[in-house]
């Protein structure tokens, strides 16, 4: 009996062989969501935090692997959403309290302040 597998490439570039099903008929019916759950069980991640990619396409949960042309020993890349991110932006944009380090959009205002040589 042949076990149908796919190669999963993780963000750290390590690869893992995942057992998908037992035969070709089952392989035609396996959904992306089913594979996502198997990968999550193996990696200990939340399914909502994974994005699966095959030949540059983001895989949609409701579709079958076969609808993307995924076969025995195809390679699937996994992206894992990381927790965190920045908080809300400062109300006046980028920079410190004295106005330094502001975004380039505001740079012109700093270069042409009243009394500076460039504004004369």
Q: What is the pLDDT of residues 41-95, one digit of tens each?
A: 998 888 888 999 999 999 999 999 999 999 999 999 999 887 765 555 555 555 5
For the chain, how are helix, strand and coil distributed in percent, rounded to 5? Answer: 30, 25, 50
| Other Cβ atoms closer than 10 A to 79 | 13
Is-above-0.85 flag for pTM?
no
SS3 96: coil
Portion of the chain with pLDDT greater than 70, in percent: 68
Give the pair of three-digit tokens for residue 56: 């540059």
Domain enclosing residue 32, as ranges: 4-80
Are 12 and 80 spatial neighbours (Cβ–Cβ below 8 Å)?
no
Residue 29 placed within a domain: yes
pLDDT at 119: 47
Domain count, the chain: 1
Give the pair of three-digit tokens for residue 81: 């959403």
CATH number where 66 lies: 3.10.20.90
């Amino acid at each position: 009996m042949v076990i149908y597998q796919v190669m999963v490439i993780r963000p750290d570039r390590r690869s893992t062989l995942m057992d998908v099903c037992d035969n070709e008929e089952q392989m035609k019916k396996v959904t992306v969501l089913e594979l996502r759950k198997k990968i999550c069980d193996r990696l200990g991640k939340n399914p909502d935090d994974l994005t699966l990619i095959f030949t540059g396409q983001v895989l949609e949960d409701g579709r079958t692997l076969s609808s993307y042309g995924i076969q025995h020993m195809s390679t699937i890349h996994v992206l894992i959403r990381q927790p965190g991110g920045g908080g809300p932006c400062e109300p006046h944009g980028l920079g410190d309290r004295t106005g330094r380090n502001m975004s380039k959009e505001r740079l012109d205002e700093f270069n042409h302040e009243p009394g500076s040589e460039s504004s004369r």
